[in-house]
């Protein structure tokens, strides 16, 4: 079998940030790295789970709702995949920055956690942990630009 594109990125050189992972016709996959891969520090499950619920809720309720295809954590717990359709890179970056601000300001019950009917692991969420991830990513992306979204710009 052919090696998939995400396994061809040199994870030993990858840093925190938001990258264009691949473009498949009108679908763009963004690689949002929140920790440095293989450094021994990974996102904890309750925090990344809360971040996922808030990220997906915000993005799918934004003005770009029709362009958001998927939001989900990486199995390695180093970040998220964010898939969009026909959305310019700057708009995707701005949407993620707005999402970070939403998470930092969020108070109350995390969407989709009120009962077992809404989530397969509805009790395992950490809002404060999600806010810590958001605060860190806000700093990482403070001066991030579209040209910086190219993996090669950081390798």
- DSSP notation for 79-93: EEEEEEES--HHHHH
Q: Are 77 and 43 in contact (CB under 8 A)?
A: yes
Tell me the C-alpha distance between 21 and 56, whole Å: 19
Instruction: Check whether 46 has a pLDDT greater than 70.
Output: yes
Tell me the C-alpha distance between 51 and 128, whole Å: 10
Instruction: Check whether 3 has a pLDDT greater than 70.
Output: yes
- The closest of 44, 60, 33 to 132, measured between CA atoms, is 44
Structure tokens at 44: 């904890």
Q: Coil, strand, or helix at residue 12?
A: coil
Residue 7: pLDDT band with limits 50, 70, 90: confident
Q: Are 17 and 144 in contact (CB under 8 A)?
A: yes
Residue 9: pLDDT band with limits 50, 70, 90: confident
Instruction: Check whether 155 has a pLDDT greater than 90.
Output: no
Instruction: Check whether 97 has a pLDDT greater than 80.
Output: yes
- Name the one residue in this structure whose structure tokens are 């450094």: 39
User: Cα–Cα distances in Å, from 40 out to 37, 77, 81?
Assistant: 8, 11, 20
């Amino acid at each position: 079998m052919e090696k998939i594109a995400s396994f061809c990125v040199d994870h030993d050189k990858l840093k925190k940030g938001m990258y264009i992972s691949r473009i498949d016709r009108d679908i763009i996959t963004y690689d949002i790295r929140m920790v440095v891969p293989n450094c021994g520090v990974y996102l904890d499950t309750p925090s990344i789970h809360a971040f996922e619920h808030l990220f997906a809720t915000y993005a799918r309720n934004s003005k770009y709702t029709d362009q958001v295809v998927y939001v989900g954590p990486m199995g390695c717990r180093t970040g998220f995949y964010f898939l969009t359709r026909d959305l310019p890179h700057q708009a995707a970056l701005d949407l993620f920055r707005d999402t970070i601000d939403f998470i930092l300001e969020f108070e109350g019950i995390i969407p989709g956690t009120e009962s077992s009917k809404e989530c397969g692991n509805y009790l395992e969420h950490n809002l404060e942990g999600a806010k810590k991830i958001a605060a860190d990513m806000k700093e990482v992306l403070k001066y991030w630009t579209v040209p910086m979204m190219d993996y090669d710009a950081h390798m």
